[in-house]
């Protein structure tokens, strides 16, 4: 079994603590593969390490800027880390890249608790179609 298969097997079994050093070894071997950074973010999220997960997802996003699923995972990680400043900063960046992201944020039940915040209203004013 190669290292990638070992990671996939551990992830499939939800053995995140064991999968994390394996995915980090994969990243060390080739840090230019965005899916490896994404998988690292998944491991960290599953372990409740949401701030670190956001950092890993950002590395993935830097390598694949137009993968909106990665953008969502970054926002979700900031939200779960209770880092609203970073959430809104990244949301503004993401909406600036794709106007459609504001609709994702408006419709996402994950972020409903932020919808009444002034920062969210400002995003809607800036990006929502009128």
Domains (ranges, CATH) in the chain? 3-127 (1.25.40.10)
Q: pLDDT tens-digit profile of 44-64? A: 999 999 999 999 999 999 999
DSSP, residue by residue, the chain: --HHHHHHHHHHTT-HHHHHHHHHHHHHH-TT-HHHHHHHHHHHHHTT-HHHHHHHHHHHHHHSTT-HHHHHHHHHHHHHTT-HHHHHHHHHHHHHH-TTHHHHHHH-GGGGGGTTSHHHHHHHHHHS--
At residue 89 the predicted structure's pLDDT band, cuts being 50, 70 and 90, is very high
Burial of 101 (0-12, 13-18, 19+ CB in 10 A): buried
Does the model's pTM come out above 0.75? yes
């Amino acid at each position: 079994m190669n290292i990638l298969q070992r990671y996939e097997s551990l992830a499939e079994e939800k053995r995140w603590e064991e999968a994390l050093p394996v995915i980090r070894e994969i990243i060390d071997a080739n840090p230019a593969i965005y899916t490896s950074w994404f998988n690292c973010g998944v491991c960290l999220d599953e372990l409740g390490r949401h701030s670190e997960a956001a950092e890993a997802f950002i590395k993935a996003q830097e390598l694949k800027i137009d993968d909106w699923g990665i953008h969502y995972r970054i926002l979700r990680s900031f939200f779960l880390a209770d880092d609203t400043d970073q959430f809104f900063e990244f949301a503004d960046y993401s909406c600036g890249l794709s106007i459609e992201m504001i609709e994702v944020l408006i419709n996402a039940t994950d972020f409903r608790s932020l919808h009444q915040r002034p920062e969210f209203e400002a995003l809607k004013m800036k990006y929502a179609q009128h």
